[in-house]
Amino acid sequence: MAAHSSPEVIIAGGGLGGLFLGALFEKSGTPYIILERSSTVKAMGSAISIGATLLPLFDQLGLLDDFVAIGKPSVRCLVNREGDQVSFVNDFELWKEYTGYQDYMIGRPELHNLLLRQIPPEKMHFGKRVLTIKEEDNRVKVITADGSSFEGDILVGADGAYSAVRQRLYDILRKEGKLPKSDQEDLPFSCTCLVGQTKPLDPEKYPLVKEPLCQFLTTLGKDKPYSWALFTTAQDSICFVVIHHLDKVSSKVAEEQRFRSLENAEWGPCTAKAMCEQTRAFPIPGGSSLTTMGDIYDLTPPELISKVMLEEKVFDTWSHGRIVLLGDACHKMTPSAAQGAMVAMHDAAALANLIYALPSNYTTKDIDAAFQEYKEERYPPALESFKSSQLMGKAIDKGIGGMVGRFIMQHKPDWLWRMILKGMVKNRPLVGFLRPVPAKGTVPPNISASEVKARAVFQQRLAATTAAGSV
């Protein structure tokens, strides 16, 4: 290809969204580095459901086979009330017919490590918590808590719900009187959550993990404000989530400073032990050799158990100047609909497309326009996923809304469920600078404006290279 001047990008945050963006930049030739606040790799959390909405992108990256090797096929979720038989089943088998791709359950640590392997070690900087940000001379300068300094043309804040990049950016806009009131409000949450993954288990001793399909079991507490779920993985481990439904919506303003001081605030194990003790007696359905959540905890290394807050908010301001936000930093949703990681990676695809498509002589105005296009493309589906997560969360809620949600799920007609599933797989974006992956299945994907733009630029550069080679 002909030489092209690409912007140097600093990615703050080495979570799934930041790593995925880095993997895309690695393929597009965009120079980048990743600053991760943790001092070491801490791939923690539970399991993630990933299927047709992301697998075409993994295919483009050449990672589809690697992904399938560490994922476990998942076709249904069984939901029951504590002590009762199955209340309802959510069956996702039709997704393969609609898209040509199987759905998989994958442990968050395994997915994190797969993406981390795509990043050259020299581009991954650990122990770099963002402290200050300055824009000057058409560059962005980042100073981290250890005194290190980094400069680039673009800064991407992919550093989670309590993003330091967003906080610094919003401080600047607030002083200028440009920050919307909604973005000045605290992050609300109505649930806290215990997550983790057991060590690999002996399939003969624990037959639950021996099943070829992921066993996705959700239990709704009968006389307690809790729900809990188990997911089996391809590594013969069991991932778990225990959700504590609070009486009212709250925020963690009082705890924010304490969380900021942690190396990995969102997945730190600091408060997990007490919640484990409170929930040890919760029963596990299915009549297996594992009878309570305590059995699961005893098989889990303590450092792999974390207590987190399930914040919910879609921010209005996603960028300013040469700074832009991605993933949880601009839209945080509960895991009820299993869409948080997917939406972050879709953000990464759109952003990678638009940065790739910047002209050789790009200016700050060009970058700002690209960021506006990014938000125009990504805000509507992010908001839709946010609402879907809230709706799915109602089905496990303790209140009247939960009762209504469960009634609907129990009695949903086949045509309605098919319509819901089709809506969930319509967004299957690709990147325009890699080989296209033919659409599969009976439901065509939506057109991605950023992909079309990047594909056109890719073809132009390819034609220019071909012409230059023929001279």
The confidence score (pLDDT) of residue 287 equals: 61
The letter for the amino acid at 235 is Q
**Contact status, residue 232 vs residue 290, Cβ threshold 8 Å:** no
Cα(323)–Cα(327) distance, rounded to whole angstroms?
14
Evaluate whether residue 330 is within a structural domain. Answer: yes
Cα(199)–Cα(466) distance, rounded to whole angstroms?
53
* Other Cβ atoms within 10 Å of 208 Cβ, number: 18
**Span 77-130, pLDDT tens digits:** 888 888 776 666 777 888 899 999 999 999 888 999 999 999 999 999 999 999
Evaluate whether residue 247 is within a structural domain. Answer: no
Q: Phi/psi zone of residue 190: left (φ > 0), alpha (ψ -120 to 50 degrees), beta?
A: alpha
- CA nearest to 355, candidates 316, 322, 309, 399: 322
The number of folded domains in the chain is: 1
Evaluate whether residue 352 is within a structural domain. Answer: yes
Cα(345)–Cα(185) distance, rounded to whole angstroms?
26
Evaluate whether residue 260 is within a structural domain. Answer: no
**Contact status, residue 185 vs residue 245, Cβ threshold 8 Å:** no
Evaluate whether residue 51 is within a structural domain. Answer: yes
Cα(350)–Cα(252) distance, rounded to whole angstroms?
31
In sequence order, the 6+-apart residues with CB closer than 8 A to the CB of 333 are 312, 314, 339, 340, 343, 385, 386, 389, 390
**Angle between helices 16-28 and 340-356 in degrees, nearest 10:** 30
**Span 388-432, pLDDT tens digits:** 765 655 555 555 656 666 666 666 788 887 888 888 889 999 999
Which residue ranges in the chain fall short of pLDDT 70? Answer: 1-4, 42-44, 85-88, 248-270, 286-288, 334-339, 389-411, 470-471
Cα(345)–Cα(173) distance, rounded to whole angstroms?
27
**Contact status, residue 17 vs residue 344, Cβ threshold 8 Å:** yes
**Contact status, residue 232 vs residue 203, Cβ threshold 8 Å:** no
**Contact status, residue 156 vs residue 12, Cβ threshold 8 Å:** yes
- CA nearest to 39, candidates 150, 123, 112, 129: 129
Cα(241)–Cα(226) distance, rounded to whole angstroms?
10
Evaluate whether residue 253 is within a structural domain. Answer: no
Cα(239)–Cα(300) distance, rounded to whole angstroms?
9
The confidence score (pLDDT) of residue 262 equals: 44
The confidence score (pLDDT) of residue 385 equals: 80
Beta bridge partners of 313: 332
Tokens of 456: 């056109």
Helix (H, G, I), strand (E, B) or coil at 150: strand
Residue 16 dihedral angles phi and psi, to the nearest 5°: -60, -45
pTM of the model: 0.89
The letter for the amino acid at 256 is E
Tokens of 319: 């960028």
Domain that holds residue 45: 9-186+312-470
Tokens of 399: 């209140």
Beta strands at 216-220 and 226-232: parallel, antiparallel or unpaired: antiparallel
Q: What angle do CA 314, 316, 322 make, to 5 degrees?
A: 115
Evaluate whether residue 118 is within a structural domain. Answer: yes
Beta bridge partners of 131: none
* Other Cβ atoms within 10 Å of 124 Cβ, number: 19
Cα(240)–Cα(242) distance, rounded to whole angstroms?
7
Gap between the terminal Cα atoms of the chain: 14
Place of tokens 């900087």: 125
The confidence score (pLDDT) of residue 15 equals: 92
CATH number of the domain that 350 lies in? 3.50.50.60
Evaluate whether residue 77 is within a structural domain. Answer: yes
CA neighbours closer than 13 Å in the CB half-sphere of residue 91:
11
H-helix or E-strand spanning residue 191: strand 188-197
